[in-house]
């Protein structure tokens, strides 16, 4: 074999190694997105399990505040359906409604001293608030992972490998303007 053949084989081996490295990195990024979503999903399920307990405790004290409780129940159902369908747009909207409902419920609870003093209510309120904070952290990680995925599958030369092996763009978990807006505390206390 002459030197030209060795150089040609060397270039082919280096190119194959380079494309294999790109493919492996894209697979890792894709699985990071899946893992980030799984982390959110676990917390959503935990909150989904806690909300009926909170509603039951509140029902014992809040005879005529049915609308606040109904909003939470409806939003909980919407979150569950969107989560199961994997629809990030619908999930973002349902999450916004649920958070507004919880904010309203916690504000209305101020008018019920017995409820606010109830140990179960306090525990559930702090548990749900903790879950909300954890969900917010995980949403940020998920969106970062999605962003990395989406950028990498559009960059050259990753684009070639991504298209050839059918890597897909992922959807960010975004929220409607209502959830991003400042909360009108006065309206929550006047309900």
pLDDT digits (tens, 9 = 90+) for 59-87: 776 665 666 777 777 888 888 888 888 77
CA distances in angstroms from 3 to 6, 8, 10, listed in the order given: 5, 9, 10
Per-residue pLDDT, averaged over 13-40, amounts to: 94
pLDDT digits (tens, 9 = 90+) for 147-181: 999 999 999 999 999 999 999 999 888 766 554 44
Structure tokens at 180: 């991003």
- Tokens 């409780």, residue located: 69
- With a pLDDT cut of 90, the percent of the chain lying above it is 32
Residue closest to 19 by CA, chosen among 168, 146, 156, 148:
156
Average model confidence (pLDDT) for the chain? 82
CA 34 to chain centre: 11
In angstroms, the CA 120 to CA 114 distance is: 11
| Residue ranges covered by each domain of the chain | 3-189
> For residues 34 and 149, is the Cβ–Cβ distance under 8 A?
no
pLDDT number for residue 181: 46
pTM of the model: 0.70
- With a pLDDT cut of 70, the percent of the chain lying above it is 86
CA distances in angstroms from 154 to 17, 141, 143, 149, 151, listed in the order given: 20, 20, 17, 9, 5
Architecture of domain 3-189: Up-down Bundle (1.20)
pLDDT number for residue 175: 67
DSSP state for residue 167 in the 8-state scheme: -
């Amino acid at each position: 074999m002459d030197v030209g053949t060795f150089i040609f084989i060397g270039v082919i081996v280096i190119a194959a190694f380079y494309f294999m490295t790109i493919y492996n990195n894209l697979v890792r990024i894709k699985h990071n997105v899946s893992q980030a979503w799984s982390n959110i999903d676990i917390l959503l399920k935990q909150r989904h399990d806690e909300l009926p307990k909170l509603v039951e405790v509140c029902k014992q004290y809040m005879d005529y505040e049915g609308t606040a409780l109904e909003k939470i129940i409806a939003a909980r159902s919407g979150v569950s359906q969107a989560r199961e369908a994997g629809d990030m747009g619908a999930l973002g909207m349902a999450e916004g409604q649920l958070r507004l409902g919880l904010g309203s419920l916690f504000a209305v609870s101020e008018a019920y001293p017995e409820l606010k003093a109830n140990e179960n209510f306090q525990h559930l309120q702090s548990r749900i608030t903790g879950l909300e904070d954890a969900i917010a952290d995980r949403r940020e990680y998920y969106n970062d992972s999605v962003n990395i995925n989406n950028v990498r599958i559009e960059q050259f030369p990753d684009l070639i490998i991504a298209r050839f092996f059918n890597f897909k763009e992922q959807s960010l978990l975004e929220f409607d303007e209502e959830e991003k807006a400042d909360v009108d505390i006065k309206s929550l206390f006047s309900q």
